[in-house]
Structure 1
Amino acid sequence: MMYTRSLLTVSVLTLLTFSVLAQSDTLPLSGQLAAKGVGINQPELFDQYMVTMPGLGSNARELLMEQSVKPYLMPPRRREYAGSANSYALAACLEFYANFDQNFKINLSPDYISLNLPQDNIEDALFFLINNGTVNAAIMPYGASSIPSAVRATQKYTVLNYLHLYWKDTRGRQKTFETKKALMRGNPVIVQILMPADLSAWKDQKWWDSSAQRPTQLQTFLVVGYHEGDEAFELQGSLGSGWADNGYIWVRYADFEKYAQDGYVLVPRDAYDHDGR
Protein backbone atom coordinates (compact mmCIF):
# COMPACT_ATOMS: atom_id res chain seq x y z
CA MET A 1 0.00 0.00 0.00
CA MET A 2 1.46 3.35 -1.03
CA TYR A 3 1.05 6.28 1.31
CA THR A 4 1.04 9.98 0.47
CA ARG A 5 3.47 12.35 2.09
CA SER A 6 2.40 15.96 1.76
CA LEU A 7 3.08 19.42 3.10
CA LEU A 8 0.12 20.44 5.24
CA THR A 9 -0.88 24.01 6.06
CA VAL A 10 -3.09 24.26 9.12
CA SER A 11 -4.84 27.44 10.26
CA VAL A 12 -6.82 27.66 13.47
CA LEU A 13 -10.37 28.89 12.81
CA THR A 14 -11.32 28.73 16.49
CA LEU A 15 -9.48 27.42 19.50
CA LEU A 16 -10.09 23.75 18.64
CA THR A 17 -11.28 23.89 15.00
CA PHE A 18 -8.98 23.37 12.06
CA SER A 19 -9.03 24.13 8.37
CA VAL A 20 -6.59 21.92 6.50
CA LEU A 21 -5.10 22.61 3.09
CA ALA A 22 -2.64 20.14 1.60
CA GLN A 23 -0.26 20.38 -1.31
CA SER A 24 1.79 17.52 -2.74
CA ASP A 25 5.45 17.04 -2.00
CA THR A 26 7.91 14.43 -3.11
CA LEU A 27 8.35 11.32 -1.00
CA PRO A 28 11.36 11.61 1.28
CA LEU A 29 13.97 8.92 0.77
CA SER A 30 14.91 6.69 3.66
CA GLY A 31 18.37 8.22 3.43
CA GLN A 32 16.92 11.69 3.98
CA LEU A 33 15.11 10.45 7.05
CA ALA A 34 18.23 8.78 8.35
CA ALA A 35 20.11 12.06 7.93
CA LYS A 36 17.63 13.68 10.31
CA GLY A 37 18.59 11.16 12.99
CA VAL A 38 16.38 8.81 14.95
CA GLY A 39 13.31 10.62 16.19
CA ILE A 40 12.24 13.86 14.48
CA ASN A 41 11.16 16.48 17.00
CA GLN A 42 11.32 19.68 14.94
CA PRO A 43 7.71 20.87 14.38
CA GLU A 44 8.63 22.42 11.03
CA LEU A 45 9.43 18.93 9.71
CA PHE A 46 6.28 17.14 10.92
CA ASP A 47 4.20 17.98 7.86
CA GLN A 48 6.98 16.90 5.52
CA TYR A 49 7.47 13.44 6.98
CA MET A 50 4.01 12.55 8.28
CA VAL A 51 2.13 10.32 5.85
CA THR A 52 -1.46 10.88 4.74
CA MET A 53 -3.41 7.63 4.57
CA PRO A 54 -5.45 7.31 1.35
CA GLY A 55 -9.18 7.47 1.92
CA LEU A 56 -8.76 9.01 5.37
CA GLY A 57 -8.81 12.71 6.03
CA SER A 58 -10.33 13.68 2.69
CA ASN A 59 -13.61 15.27 3.83
CA ALA A 60 -12.61 18.57 5.42
CA ARG A 61 -16.09 19.35 6.76
CA GLU A 62 -16.39 16.03 8.61
CA LEU A 63 -12.83 16.37 9.90
CA LEU A 64 -13.79 19.59 11.64
CA MET A 65 -16.04 17.48 13.87
CA GLU A 66 -14.58 14.00 14.14
CA GLN A 67 -12.12 11.43 12.87
CA SER A 68 -11.43 7.81 13.77
CA VAL A 69 -8.94 5.24 12.55
CA LYS A 70 -10.45 2.57 14.83
CA PRO A 71 -12.16 0.64 11.99
CA TYR A 72 -8.73 0.04 10.42
CA LEU A 73 -7.11 -1.34 13.58
CA MET A 74 -7.02 -4.91 14.82
CA PRO A 75 -9.17 -5.50 17.94
CA PRO A 76 -7.60 -4.50 21.27
CA ARG A 77 -5.42 -7.27 22.65
CA ARG A 78 -4.93 -8.23 26.25
CA ARG A 79 -1.29 -8.20 27.17
CA GLU A 80 0.08 -10.80 29.52
CA TYR A 81 1.12 -9.81 33.04
CA ALA A 82 4.73 -9.38 32.00
CA GLY A 83 3.81 -7.75 28.69
CA SER A 84 4.87 -4.21 27.82
CA ALA A 85 2.22 -1.57 27.12
CA ASN A 86 4.85 0.28 25.07
CA SER A 87 5.48 -2.71 22.80
CA TYR A 88 1.78 -3.54 22.47
CA ALA A 89 1.02 0.03 21.38
CA LEU A 90 3.89 0.03 18.87
CA ALA A 91 2.96 -3.35 17.41
CA ALA A 92 -0.71 -2.33 17.06
CA CYS A 93 0.30 0.94 15.42
CA LEU A 94 2.62 -0.74 12.92
CA GLU A 95 -0.10 -3.31 12.14
CA PHE A 96 -2.33 -0.41 11.14
CA TYR A 97 0.08 0.60 8.37
CA ALA A 98 1.06 -2.93 7.33
CA ASN A 99 -2.58 -4.06 7.05
CA PHE A 100 -4.03 -0.90 5.53
CA ASP A 101 -6.07 -1.72 2.41
CA GLN A 102 -4.91 -5.35 2.53
CA ASN A 103 -7.28 -8.31 2.32
CA PHE A 104 -4.88 -10.50 4.28
CA LYS A 105 -4.28 -9.14 7.78
CA ILE A 106 -1.17 -9.94 9.77
CA ASN A 107 -0.62 -9.83 13.52
CA LEU A 108 2.67 -8.45 14.77
CA SER A 109 4.49 -9.58 17.89
CA PRO A 110 4.86 -7.02 20.70
CA ASP A 111 6.86 -9.49 22.75
CA TYR A 112 9.63 -9.67 20.15
CA ILE A 113 10.22 -5.98 20.80
CA SER A 114 10.11 -6.11 24.60
CA LEU A 115 12.18 -9.30 24.97
CA ASN A 116 14.98 -7.75 22.93
CA LEU A 117 15.25 -4.73 25.23
CA PRO A 118 16.93 -4.63 28.65
CA GLN A 119 14.48 -1.98 29.91
CA ASP A 120 10.88 -1.08 29.13
CA ASN A 121 11.50 2.35 27.62
CA ILE A 122 9.35 3.79 24.82
CA GLU A 123 12.16 5.47 22.90
CA ASP A 124 14.35 2.37 23.12
CA ALA A 125 11.42 0.43 21.68
CA LEU A 126 10.98 2.98 18.87
CA PHE A 127 14.69 2.80 18.07
CA PHE A 128 14.46 -1.00 17.97
CA LEU A 129 11.46 -0.84 15.62
CA ILE A 130 13.47 1.28 13.19
CA ASN A 131 16.64 -0.78 13.23
CA ASN A 132 15.32 -4.29 13.84
CA GLY A 133 11.54 -4.30 13.56
CA THR A 134 9.22 -7.01 14.78
CA VAL A 135 7.93 -10.31 13.41
CA ASN A 136 4.65 -11.97 12.59
CA ALA A 137 2.90 -13.20 15.72
CA ALA A 138 2.45 -16.53 13.96
CA ILE A 139 6.21 -16.97 14.45
CA MET A 140 6.33 -15.53 17.96
CA PRO A 141 2.92 -15.85 19.68
CA TYR A 142 1.48 -13.37 22.15
CA GLY A 143 2.69 -13.94 25.67
CA ALA A 144 5.92 -15.63 24.55
CA SER A 145 8.55 -15.67 27.29
CA SER A 146 11.49 -16.38 24.98
CA ILE A 147 12.50 -15.70 21.39
CA PRO A 148 12.28 -18.78 19.13
CA SER A 149 15.13 -19.52 16.75
CA ALA A 150 12.69 -19.35 13.82
CA VAL A 151 12.70 -15.55 13.96
CA ARG A 152 16.17 -15.46 12.43
CA ALA A 153 14.84 -16.59 9.05
CA THR A 154 11.61 -14.61 9.00
CA GLN A 155 10.96 -11.15 7.58
CA LYS A 156 11.00 -8.17 9.91
CA TYR A 157 8.47 -5.34 9.89
CA THR A 158 10.22 -2.02 10.41
CA VAL A 159 9.54 1.71 10.14
CA LEU A 160 11.65 4.50 8.66
CA ASN A 161 11.54 6.81 11.66
CA TYR A 162 9.17 8.43 14.13
CA LEU A 163 7.94 11.92 14.92
CA HIS A 164 8.12 13.11 18.53
CA LEU A 165 5.12 15.45 18.43
CA TYR A 166 5.26 16.76 21.98
CA TRP A 167 6.56 16.06 25.47
CA LYS A 168 5.69 16.82 29.08
CA ASP A 169 6.48 20.54 28.97
CA THR A 170 4.67 21.24 25.67
CA ARG A 171 1.70 23.58 26.06
CA GLY A 172 -1.54 21.67 26.55
CA ARG A 173 -3.32 23.17 23.55
CA GLN A 174 -0.37 22.25 21.36
CA LYS A 175 -0.70 18.61 22.45
CA THR A 176 -4.33 18.61 21.34
CA PHE A 177 -3.47 20.44 18.11
CA GLU A 178 -0.70 18.01 17.08
CA THR A 179 -2.73 14.94 18.03
CA LYS A 180 -5.74 16.08 16.02
CA LYS A 181 -3.60 17.03 13.04
CA ALA A 182 -2.05 13.56 12.94
CA LEU A 183 -5.48 11.91 13.17
CA MET A 184 -6.80 14.17 10.41
CA ARG A 185 -4.18 12.65 8.14
CA GLY A 186 -5.17 9.16 9.21
CA ASN A 187 -2.39 8.39 11.69
CA PRO A 188 -2.88 6.86 15.14
CA VAL A 189 -0.84 8.59 17.84
CA ILE A 190 1.16 6.71 20.46
CA VAL A 191 0.76 8.61 23.72
CA GLN A 192 2.18 8.25 27.19
CA ILE A 193 -0.28 9.69 29.68
CA LEU A 194 -0.71 9.69 33.44
CA MET A 195 -3.62 7.46 34.46
CA PRO A 196 -5.11 6.16 37.75
CA ALA A 197 -3.54 3.18 39.50
CA ASP A 198 -6.78 1.18 39.28
CA LEU A 199 -6.81 1.45 35.49
CA SER A 200 -6.75 -2.32 34.87
CA ALA A 201 -9.96 -2.82 36.89
CA TRP A 202 -12.15 -0.56 34.74
CA LYS A 203 -15.23 -2.31 33.37
CA ASP A 204 -18.12 -0.92 31.33
CA GLN A 205 -16.59 2.54 31.57
CA LYS A 206 -16.66 4.82 28.53
CA TRP A 207 -15.14 7.96 30.05
CA TRP A 208 -12.25 8.73 32.36
CA ASP A 209 -13.27 11.28 34.98
CA SER A 210 -10.03 12.71 36.35
CA SER A 211 -11.84 14.43 39.22
CA ALA A 212 -12.96 11.05 40.57
CA GLN A 213 -10.00 8.92 39.43
CA ARG A 214 -6.73 10.76 40.02
CA PRO A 215 -3.82 9.92 37.70
CA THR A 216 -0.66 8.56 39.31
CA GLN A 217 0.91 6.12 36.82
CA LEU A 218 2.37 6.59 33.35
CA GLN A 219 0.58 4.42 30.77
CA THR A 220 0.91 4.00 27.00
CA PHE A 221 -2.07 4.07 24.62
CA LEU A 222 -2.97 4.56 20.99
CA VAL A 223 -5.05 7.65 20.28
CA VAL A 224 -7.46 6.44 17.60
CA GLY A 225 -9.97 9.26 17.21
CA TYR A 226 -11.44 12.56 18.36
CA HIS A 227 -14.88 14.15 18.58
CA GLU A 228 -15.21 17.92 18.66
CA GLY A 229 -18.73 17.87 20.07
CA ASP A 230 -17.49 15.97 23.11
CA GLU A 231 -14.08 17.69 23.05
CA ALA A 232 -12.43 14.34 23.63
CA PHE A 233 -9.99 11.76 22.27
CA GLU A 234 -10.64 8.02 22.10
CA LEU A 235 -7.76 5.84 23.30
CA GLN A 236 -7.12 2.14 22.68
CA GLY A 237 -5.55 0.21 25.55
CA SER A 238 -3.78 -3.14 25.73
CA LEU A 239 -5.96 -4.76 28.38
CA GLY A 240 -8.28 -6.62 26.02
CA SER A 241 -11.83 -6.02 24.80
CA GLY A 242 -13.26 -6.59 28.30
CA TRP A 243 -11.54 -3.48 29.63
CA ALA A 244 -13.33 -0.10 29.91
CA ASP A 245 -15.57 0.28 26.83
CA ASN A 246 -14.70 -2.74 24.66
CA GLY A 247 -11.02 -1.96 25.08
CA TYR A 248 -11.28 1.82 24.60
CA ILE A 249 -11.62 4.88 26.84
CA TRP A 250 -12.56 8.49 26.07
CA VAL A 251 -10.43 11.28 27.55
CA ARG A 252 -11.52 14.92 27.44
CA TYR A 253 -9.19 17.43 25.83
CA ALA A 254 -8.72 19.25 29.14
CA ASP A 255 -7.47 16.08 30.85
CA PHE A 256 -5.40 15.07 27.84
CA GLU A 257 -3.69 18.46 27.77
CA LYS A 258 -2.91 18.23 31.47
CA TYR A 259 -1.78 14.62 31.75
CA ALA A 260 -0.38 13.57 28.33
CA GLN A 261 3.41 13.41 28.57
CA ASP A 262 4.79 12.37 25.17
CA GLY A 263 3.18 11.78 21.78
CA TYR A 264 4.64 9.93 18.79
CA VAL A 265 3.67 9.12 15.20
CA LEU A 266 5.38 6.38 13.21
CA VAL A 267 6.86 7.10 9.78
CA PRO A 268 6.09 3.80 7.99
CA ARG A 269 7.71 2.39 4.92
CA ASP A 270 5.99 3.23 1.65
CA ALA A 271 4.58 -0.30 1.38
CA TYR A 272 4.57 -3.65 3.16
CA ASP A 273 4.15 -6.97 1.43
CA HIS A 274 2.72 -10.01 3.16
CA ASP A 275 6.21 -11.13 4.14
CA GLY A 276 6.91 -7.86 5.89
CA ARG A 277 9.42 -6.46 3.43
Structure 2
Amino acid sequence: MFTIRTFALCASLLLSSFLFAQPPGSNLSTRDANQVNTLGVTNSTLFDQLMVTVEGVGSNSRLTQEHQDLKPYLMPVRKMGFRGSDWSYMLASCLEYYVNLSRNFKDNLSPDYISLSLQSQGQRSSLDQGLKFLVQNGTVSAAIVPYDAAQISSTVYATTKYQINNYLHLFQPFASPREKIFELRKALLRGNPVLIEFQASSDFPRIGPTRTWEPDRNDGNLSYTLLVIGFDENLQAFEVLSSWGSTWANNGYLTINYNDLANRASNGYVMIPNTY
Protein backbone atom coordinates (compact mmCIF):
# COMPACT_ATOMS: atom_id res chain seq x y z
CA MET A 1 0.00 0.00 0.00
CA PHE A 2 1.33 3.46 -0.93
CA THR A 3 1.21 5.20 2.45
CA ILE A 4 2.02 8.76 3.49
CA ARG A 5 5.26 7.45 4.99
CA THR A 6 6.21 5.83 1.68
CA PHE A 7 5.45 9.07 -0.16
CA ALA A 8 7.62 11.06 2.27
CA LEU A 9 10.52 8.63 1.83
CA CYS A 10 10.30 8.83 -1.97
CA ALA A 11 10.17 12.62 -1.83
CA SER A 12 13.25 12.71 0.42
CA LEU A 13 15.22 10.46 -1.92
CA LEU A 14 14.20 12.53 -4.92
CA LEU A 15 15.32 15.72 -3.18
CA SER A 16 18.67 14.17 -2.26
CA SER A 17 19.29 13.04 -5.81
CA PHE A 18 18.48 16.54 -7.07
CA LEU A 19 20.80 18.27 -4.57
CA PHE A 20 23.76 16.01 -5.06
CA ALA A 21 23.46 14.92 -8.69
CA GLN A 22 26.42 15.75 -10.92
CA PRO A 23 26.70 15.41 -14.68
CA PRO A 24 29.02 12.55 -15.72
CA GLY A 25 32.66 13.56 -15.66
CA SER A 26 32.09 16.81 -13.78
CA ASN A 27 34.54 17.90 -11.07
CA LEU A 28 33.45 17.99 -7.46
CA SER A 29 33.24 21.53 -6.14
CA THR A 30 33.49 22.89 -2.61
CA ARG A 31 29.78 23.72 -2.72
CA ASP A 32 28.89 20.02 -2.89
CA ALA A 33 30.57 19.28 0.45
CA ASN A 34 29.14 22.40 2.04
CA GLN A 35 25.59 21.23 1.33
CA VAL A 36 26.05 18.58 4.04
CA ASN A 37 25.50 20.03 7.50
CA THR A 38 26.66 17.07 9.62
CA LEU A 39 30.30 16.33 10.27
CA GLY A 40 31.24 12.84 9.17
CA VAL A 41 28.98 11.64 6.34
CA THR A 42 27.75 8.10 6.99
CA ASN A 43 25.14 7.86 4.23
CA SER A 44 26.76 5.57 1.64
CA THR A 45 24.49 6.91 -1.11
CA LEU A 46 26.36 10.24 -0.81
CA PHE A 47 29.88 8.78 -0.95
CA ASP A 48 30.07 8.85 -4.75
CA GLN A 49 28.89 12.45 -4.90
CA LEU A 50 31.15 13.80 -2.15
CA MET A 51 34.36 11.79 -2.59
CA VAL A 52 36.86 13.70 -4.70
CA THR A 53 38.76 12.23 -7.62
CA VAL A 54 42.33 13.48 -7.38
CA GLU A 55 43.41 14.84 -10.75
CA GLY A 56 46.37 13.01 -12.22
CA VAL A 57 46.27 10.34 -9.52
CA GLY A 58 42.78 8.84 -9.35
CA SER A 59 40.16 7.77 -11.84
CA ASN A 60 36.39 7.28 -11.99
CA SER A 61 36.80 4.59 -14.64
CA ARG A 62 34.64 1.52 -14.18
CA LEU A 63 37.37 -0.59 -15.76
CA THR A 64 39.21 -2.94 -13.42
CA GLN A 65 42.47 -1.48 -12.14
CA GLU A 66 44.83 -3.99 -10.64
CA HIS A 67 47.06 -1.63 -8.71
CA GLN A 68 47.10 1.75 -7.00
CA ASP A 69 50.01 3.31 -5.10
CA LEU A 70 49.84 6.76 -3.50
CA LYS A 71 53.28 6.44 -1.90
CA PRO A 72 55.08 8.66 -4.47
CA TYR A 73 52.79 11.57 -3.50
CA LEU A 74 53.29 11.31 0.26
CA MET A 75 55.81 13.11 2.44
CA PRO A 76 58.68 11.02 3.90
CA VAL A 77 57.80 8.63 6.71
CA ARG A 78 58.09 10.22 10.15
CA LYS A 79 58.31 8.79 13.64
CA MET A 80 56.16 10.25 16.39
CA GLY A 81 57.75 11.11 19.72
CA PHE A 82 56.74 9.80 23.13
CA ARG A 83 54.17 12.61 23.52
CA GLY A 84 52.62 11.95 20.10
CA SER A 85 49.43 10.16 19.09
CA ASP A 86 49.33 7.80 16.12
CA TRP A 87 45.88 9.12 15.08
CA SER A 88 47.05 12.76 14.93
CA TYR A 89 50.21 11.86 13.01
CA MET A 90 48.19 9.92 10.45
CA LEU A 91 45.73 12.81 10.16
CA ALA A 92 48.60 15.20 9.41
CA SER A 93 50.11 12.80 6.85
CA CYS A 94 46.77 12.41 5.10
CA LEU A 95 46.11 16.16 4.99
CA GLU A 96 49.65 16.85 3.75
CA TYR A 97 48.92 14.62 0.76
CA TYR A 98 46.05 16.85 -0.39
CA VAL A 99 47.69 20.17 0.54
CA ASN A 100 50.97 19.47 -1.25
CA LEU A 101 49.60 17.89 -4.43
CA SER A 102 48.81 21.17 -6.13
CA ARG A 103 51.61 23.28 -4.62
CA ASN A 104 55.14 23.92 -5.77
CA PHE A 105 56.56 23.28 -2.31
CA LYS A 106 56.14 20.58 0.28
CA ASP A 107 55.05 21.55 3.78
CA ASN A 108 54.98 19.30 6.83
CA LEU A 109 51.84 19.86 8.87
CA SER A 110 51.65 19.66 12.64
CA PRO A 111 49.97 16.59 14.18
CA ASP A 112 50.70 17.83 17.68
CA TYR A 113 48.73 21.05 17.17
CA ILE A 114 45.65 18.84 16.67
CA SER A 115 46.14 16.66 19.75
CA LEU A 116 47.29 19.49 22.04
CA SER A 117 44.35 21.66 20.99
CA LEU A 118 41.85 18.90 21.77
CA GLN A 119 43.49 18.30 25.15
CA SER A 120 43.33 22.00 26.04
CA GLN A 121 39.63 22.03 25.15
CA GLY A 122 38.96 19.01 27.34
CA GLN A 123 37.78 16.98 24.34
CA ARG A 124 38.24 13.29 23.75
CA SER A 125 41.47 12.51 21.89
CA SER A 126 40.52 10.24 19.00
CA LEU A 127 40.57 9.94 15.24
CA ASP A 128 36.98 11.07 14.71
CA GLN A 129 37.42 14.06 17.05
CA GLY A 130 40.60 14.94 15.18
CA LEU A 131 38.74 14.91 11.88
CA LYS A 132 36.07 17.21 13.30
CA PHE A 133 38.81 19.52 14.55
CA LEU A 134 40.31 19.71 11.04
CA VAL A 135 36.92 20.74 9.65
CA GLN A 136 36.27 23.39 12.29
CA ASN A 137 39.80 24.66 12.98
CA GLY A 138 42.50 23.02 10.87
CA THR A 139 46.16 22.54 11.72
CA VAL A 140 49.30 24.60 11.17
CA SER A 141 52.73 24.04 9.68
CA ALA A 142 55.07 21.84 11.71
CA ALA A 143 57.49 24.77 11.56
CA ILE A 144 55.09 26.57 13.94
CA VAL A 145 54.21 23.65 16.23
CA PRO A 146 56.99 21.08 15.78
CA TYR A 147 56.75 17.33 16.18
CA ASP A 148 56.44 16.13 19.77
CA ALA A 149 55.73 19.66 20.99
CA ALA A 150 54.82 20.03 24.65
CA GLN A 151 52.70 23.14 24.19
CA ILE A 152 51.25 25.52 21.61
CA SER A 153 52.89 28.92 21.22
CA SER A 154 50.86 32.10 20.73
CA THR A 155 52.24 32.49 17.19
CA VAL A 156 49.68 29.99 15.89
CA TYR A 157 46.91 32.57 16.02
CA ALA A 158 48.48 34.66 13.26
CA THR A 159 49.46 31.82 10.93
CA THR A 160 47.79 29.89 8.10
CA LYS A 161 45.43 27.08 9.08
CA TYR A 162 44.93 24.04 6.86
CA GLN A 163 41.39 22.66 7.05
CA ILE A 164 39.18 20.11 5.33
CA ASN A 165 35.61 20.57 4.16
CA ASN A 166 34.23 17.42 5.76
CA TYR A 167 34.95 13.70 5.92
CA LEU A 168 33.28 10.44 4.96
CA HIS A 169 32.82 7.70 7.55
CA LEU A 170 33.47 5.11 4.89
CA PHE A 171 32.71 2.05 6.98
CA GLN A 172 31.90 1.17 10.59
CA PRO A 173 32.57 -1.95 12.70
CA PHE A 174 29.35 -3.69 11.64
CA ALA A 175 30.22 -3.55 7.91
CA SER A 176 31.13 -6.88 6.32
CA PRO A 177 34.73 -7.54 5.21
CA ARG A 178 33.55 -7.52 1.60
CA GLU A 179 31.99 -4.04 2.04
CA LYS A 180 35.16 -2.71 3.66
CA ILE A 181 37.38 -4.03 0.86
CA PHE A 182 35.05 -2.55 -1.77
CA GLU A 183 34.98 0.90 -0.15
CA LEU A 184 38.75 0.92 0.43
CA ARG A 185 39.52 0.02 -3.18
CA LYS A 186 37.04 2.59 -4.54
CA ALA A 187 38.54 5.39 -2.45
CA LEU A 188 42.09 4.47 -3.45
CA LEU A 189 41.14 4.22 -7.13
CA ARG A 190 39.96 7.83 -6.91
CA GLY A 191 43.28 8.83 -5.38
CA ASN A 192 42.18 9.07 -1.74
CA PRO A 193 44.18 7.55 1.13
CA VAL A 194 41.99 6.00 3.83
CA LEU A 195 42.42 6.43 7.58
CA ILE A 196 41.57 3.25 9.47
CA GLU A 197 41.37 2.13 13.08
CA PHE A 198 43.11 -1.25 13.14
CA GLN A 199 42.95 -3.88 15.88
CA ALA A 200 46.24 -5.62 16.68
CA SER A 201 48.51 -6.68 19.55
CA SER A 202 50.75 -4.57 21.75
CA ASP A 203 53.74 -5.73 19.66
CA PHE A 204 52.35 -4.27 16.44
CA PRO A 205 54.16 -0.88 16.75
CA ARG A 206 57.46 -2.75 17.18
CA ILE A 207 57.36 -4.85 14.01
CA GLY A 208 60.85 -5.33 12.60
CA PRO A 209 61.97 -5.41 8.96
CA THR A 210 59.33 -7.20 6.88
CA ARG A 211 57.16 -6.50 3.85
CA THR A 212 54.03 -8.41 4.85
CA TRP A 213 52.06 -8.98 8.04
CA GLU A 214 51.04 -12.42 9.24
CA PRO A 215 48.39 -12.16 11.98
CA ASP A 216 48.92 -14.09 15.16
CA ARG A 217 46.04 -16.33 16.22
CA ASN A 218 46.23 -14.72 19.66
CA ASP A 219 46.50 -11.19 18.26
CA GLY A 220 45.23 -8.55 20.67
CA ASN A 221 42.54 -5.93 20.28
CA LEU A 222 44.42 -2.67 20.83
CA SER A 223 43.43 0.04 18.37
CA TYR A 224 45.96 1.76 16.10
CA THR A 225 45.49 4.33 13.36
CA LEU A 226 47.00 3.52 9.96
CA LEU A 227 46.80 5.18 6.55
CA VAL A 228 45.89 2.85 3.67
CA ILE A 229 47.82 4.13 0.65
CA GLY A 230 47.55 1.41 -1.98
CA PHE A 231 46.32 -1.99 -3.09
CA ASP A 232 47.41 -4.81 -5.39
CA GLU A 233 44.78 -7.10 -6.88
CA ASN A 234 47.35 -9.75 -7.82
CA LEU A 235 48.57 -9.96 -4.23
CA GLN A 236 45.05 -9.40 -2.84
CA ALA A 237 46.59 -6.99 -0.37
CA PHE A 238 46.56 -3.38 0.82
CA GLU A 239 49.60 -1.31 1.73
CA VAL A 240 49.52 0.86 4.86
CA LEU A 241 51.65 3.63 6.35
CA SER A 242 52.30 3.93 10.10
CA SER A 243 53.61 6.67 12.38
CA TRP A 244 56.43 4.55 13.84
CA GLY A 245 59.23 5.62 11.53
CA SER A 246 61.28 4.08 8.74
CA THR A 247 62.60 1.23 10.90
CA TRP A 248 59.08 -0.19 11.20
CA ALA A 249 58.25 -3.00 8.73
CA ASN A 250 59.35 -2.03 5.18
CA ASN A 251 60.68 1.53 5.61
CA GLY A 252 57.49 2.51 7.46
CA TYR A 253 55.07 0.64 5.17
CA LEU A 254 53.42 -2.77 5.50
CA THR A 255 51.45 -5.01 3.15
CA ILE A 256 48.36 -6.63 4.69
CA ASN A 257 46.09 -9.21 3.06
CA TYR A 258 42.64 -7.89 2.03
CA ASN A 259 40.71 -10.08 4.45
CA ASP A 260 43.16 -9.70 7.34
CA LEU A 261 42.88 -5.93 7.12
CA ALA A 262 39.11 -5.93 6.64
CA ASN A 263 38.59 -8.25 9.63
CA ARG A 264 40.61 -5.95 11.90
CA ALA A 265 39.69 -2.51 10.56
CA SER A 266 36.85 -1.21 12.71
CA ASN A 267 36.38 2.23 11.13
CA GLY A 268 37.51 3.85 7.88
CA TYR A 269 37.53 7.55 6.98
CA VAL A 270 38.21 9.62 3.85
CA MET A 271 38.82 13.38 3.89
CA ILE A 272 36.88 15.80 1.72
CA PRO A 273 39.67 18.32 1.20
CA ASN A 274 39.65 22.04 0.55
CA THR A 275 41.31 23.33 -2.60
CA TYR A 276 44.80 24.69 -1.93
User: What is the TM-score with the length of structure 2 in the denominator?
Assistant: 0.86
Are 1:191 and 2:192 matched, yes or no?
A: no
Are 1:256 and 2:261 matched, yes or no?
A: yes
The one-letter amino acid paired with 2:262 is E
Say whether the 8 Å CA contact 2:60–2:189 is kept in structure 1.
Answer: no
Displacement of 1:257 after TM fit?
Answer: 1.7
Q: Which has the higher strand share?
A: 1
Say whether the 8 Å CA contact 2:198–2:223 is kept in structure 1.
Answer: yes
Listed one character per residue, the Cα deviations across residues 161-191 of structure 1 (whole Å, up to 9, x for unaligned) are 0000001110110000000000000000001
Say whether the 8 Å CA contact 2:66–2:232 is kept in structure 1.
Answer: yes
Q: Identify the residue that residue 171 of structure 2 maps to in structure 1.
A: 166
Q: Identify the residue that residue 75 of structure 2 maps to in structure 1.
A: 74
Displacement of 1:23 after TM fit?
Answer: 2.2
The one-letter amino acid paired with 2:141 is N
Q: Kindly tell me: are residues 199 and 133 of structure 1, through their superposed partners in 2, closer, same or farther at Cα, counting changes over 3 Å?
A: same
Q: How does 1:1-277 map to 2 (within 5 A)?
A: 23-25=24-26, 27-30=28-31, 33=34, 35-58=36-59, 64-118=65-119, 119-211=124-216, 214-269=219-274, 271-272=275-276
Q: Kindly tell me: are residues 103 and 164 of structure 1, through their superposed partners in 2, closer, same or farther at Cα, counting changes over 3 Å?
A: same
Say whether the 8 Å CA contact 2:33–2:272 is kept in structure 1.
Answer: no
Say whether the 8 Å CA contact 2:92–2:111 is kept in structure 1.
Answer: yes
Q: Which has the higher helix share?
A: 2
**Alpha-carbon separation, structure 1, partners of 2:195 and 2:176:** 18
Report the 3-state secondary structure (helix = DSSP H, G, I; strand = E; otherwise coil) of the residue aligned with 2:24. strand
Between the two proteins, what is the percent identity of the paired residues? 43
Report the 3-state secondary structure (helix = DSSP H, G, I; strand = E; otherwise coil) of the residue aligned with 2:112. helix
Say whether the 8 Å CA contact 1:192–1:261 is kept in structure 2.
Answer: yes
The one-letter amino acid paired with 2:196 is V
Gaps of 5+ in 1: 1-5, 9-21, 273-277
Gaps of 5+ in 2: 1-19
Aligned residues: 253
Report the 3-state secondary structure (helix = DSSP H, G, I; strand = E; otherwise coil) of the residue aligned with 1:23. coil
**Alpha-carbon separation, structure 1, partners of 2:134 and 2:33:** 18
Displacement of 1:158 after TM fit?
Answer: 0.2
Displacement of 1:213 after TM fit?
Answer: 6.6
Report the 3-state secondary structure (helix = DSSP H, G, I; strand = E; otherwise coil) of the residue aligned with 2:118. coil
Q: Kindly tell me: are residues 131 and 221 of structure 1, through their superposed partners in 2, closer, same or farther at Cα, counting changes over 3 Å?
A: same
Displacement of 1:238 after TM fit?
Answer: 0.1
Runs (4 or more) in structure 1 with deviation over 3 Å come to: 25-32, 58-63
Report the 3-state secondary structure (helix = DSSP H, G, I; strand = E; otherwise coil) of the residue aligned with 1:223. strand
User: What is the TM-score with the length of structure 1 in the denominator?
Assistant: 0.86
Displacement of 1:200 after TM fit?
Answer: 2.1
Say whether the 8 Å CA contact 1:190–1:265 is kept in structure 2.
Answer: yes
Say whether the 8 Å CA contact 1:57–1:63 is kept in structure 2.
Answer: no
Displacement of 1:233 after TM fit?
Answer: 0.4
Q: Identify the residue that residue 9 of structure 2 maps to in structure 1.
A: none
